[in-house]
Amino acid sequence: MSNVIEVKNLTKQYKQLKAIDNLSFEVYDGEILGLLGPNGGGKSTTINCILSLLNFSEGEIKIFGKKMKPDAYDIKSKLGVVFQEVAVFDELTVYENIDYFCGLYIKDKDTREEYIKDAINLVGLEEFIKFYPKQLSGGLLRRLNIACGIAHKPKLIFLDEPTVAVDPQSRNNILDGIKKLRDNGATIVYTTHYMEEVEIICDRIIILDKGKILASGTSDSLKELAKIEEKVTVEVNNLEDKYIKAIKEFSNVDNVEYTSNMLLVTYKKGKNNLVELIEFFKKESVKYNKIYSERPTLNDVFLELTGKELRDI
């Protein structure tokens, strides 16, 4: 596959802090790349460097095979950027907002009208074209923000937390729209803290922390990095400490947690762990309400790689 973005040895330093540390990666034509990381991990700095919104200390960035620079307007005309903060004009209607942003790139009136219609249909705003932003719900406002960023049919799109604080219906609509953009030929760089979204739409994932790549690959390949093999969750009331201690002694058990009548047992390996636990409860006459098993999730891998401590940056 051909490269749409090529980042080589990128370093961004603020005095003694290296926000980006010798970072190299590629984004391929027609893929949705998930760029993940904790707060302060380097995601926003990396994107701002790629877009030439920030100067960087060392390295090289190419987009569509050309060196990216602040005055590379031929490249920028092919980019679509949707930042987390909604950026639309309150005094313009939905249609007028999309028309304005599309008009920055598309001067022909007939073509622009066609593009605006496509953007409105893509995000499902057909019934709201005469509404003003203050009349829209949070989910509709997010959808308008996306439409403004992609109406000119860019070849490369950056989406930063496009579904934050929206209802499930709007989230599904936005994710469906993103997949349609990819299917129509766009390449997308996607950042989010919602791991389930990444598993749904991203073809490939990069996990960043402290300006370095900790892991990259598909969702399935990243899950193989997990130190645990299986998680078993049990809803059981007033489980005595002696039973928790006994479960910790099972040969394959990695960790046992019991809070609010929920028992979580993580296993390092093995295939019959659930059966072993059920038989133990039966032998000890321990009554439980629900019990289920699941494989490690992308969230498990993310926390293993980046740590569980809170990030306030």
Q: List the CATH number of the domain containing 80.
A: 3.40.50.300
CB 222 within 8 A of CB 205: yes
pLDDT tens for each residue of 214-260? 999 999 999 988 888 899 999 999 999 999 999 999 999 999 999 99
State the pLDDT confidence band at 53, using cuts at 50, 70 and 90: very high
Based on the fold, state whether residues 242 and 216 are members of the same structural domain.
no
Q: How many CB atoms sit inside 10 A of residue 33's CB? A: 21
- Report the pLDDT value the prediction gives residue 130, as an integer from 0 to 100: 98
User: Which of the listed residues 194, 223, 252 is the one where a domain comes to its end?
Assistant: 223
- Report the pLDDT value the prediction gives residue 63, as an integer from 0 to 100: 98
Based on the fold, state whether residues 209 and 93 are members of the same structural domain.
yes
Predicted TM-score of the model (pTM): 0.88
Query: What's at 84, amino acid-wise?
Result: Q
Based on the fold, state whether residues 180 and 282 are members of the same structural domain.
no
Query: What's at 88, amino acid-wise?
Result: V
pLDDT tens for each residue of 13-51? 988 889 999 999 999 999 999 999 998 899 999 999 999
d(CA 199, CA 190): 12
Q: Which two tokens stand for residue 236?
A: 């059981």
State the pLDDT confidence band at 310, using cuts at 50, 70 and 90: low
Based on the fold, state whether residues 26 and 152 are members of the same structural domain.
yes
Could you tell me how far CA 69 lies from the centroid of its own chain?
A: 26
- Report the pLDDT value the prediction gives residue 308, as an integer from 0 to 100: 66
d(CA 83, CA 92): 19
> Is 306 among the domain residues?
no
For the chain, report the end-to-end CA distance as a whole number of angstroms: 36
Q: List the CATH number of the domain containing 267.
A: 3.30.70.100
93: three-class secondary structure by DSSP: coil
d(CA 171, CA 224): 28
The DSSP string of 28-91 is ETT-EEEEE--TTSSHHHHHHHHTTSS--SEEEEEETTEE--TT-HHHHTTEEEE-SS----TT
Pairing relation of β-strands 79-82 and 212-217?
A: unpaired
Look at residue 174 and tell me whether its pLDDT is greater than 80. Answer: yes
d(CA 267, CA 54): 45
CB 65 within 8 A of CB 27: no
- Report the pLDDT value the prediction gives residue 27, as an integer from 0 to 100: 98
State the pLDDT confidence band at 295, using cuts at 50, 70 and 90: confident
pLDDT tens for each residue of 251-282? 999 999 999 999 999 998 877 899 999 999 99
- Structural domain for 126, as ranges: 3-223
* Sequence-ordered alpha helix ranges (H) in the chain: 43-50, 73-76, 94-103, 109-123, 138-150, 168-183, 195-201, 219-223, 241-248, 273-283, 298-306
> Is 187 among the domain residues?
yes
Based on the fold, state whether residues 276 and 207 are members of the same structural domain.
no
Task: Look at residues 165, 169, 161 and name the one whose alpha carbon lies nearest to residue 35.
Answer: 161
Based on the fold, state whether residues 125 and 216 are members of the same structural domain.
yes
Strand order in the sheet with 3-14: 17-28, 3-14, 58-63, 66-67
> Is 309 among the domain residues?
no
> Is 275 among the domain residues?
yes
Give the DSSP letter of residue 236.
-
Q: Report the domain count for the chain.
A: 2
Task: Look at residues 296, 131, 303 and name the one whose alpha carbon lies nearest to residue 221.
Answer: 296
Based on the fold, state whether residues 212 and 234 are members of the same structural domain.
no
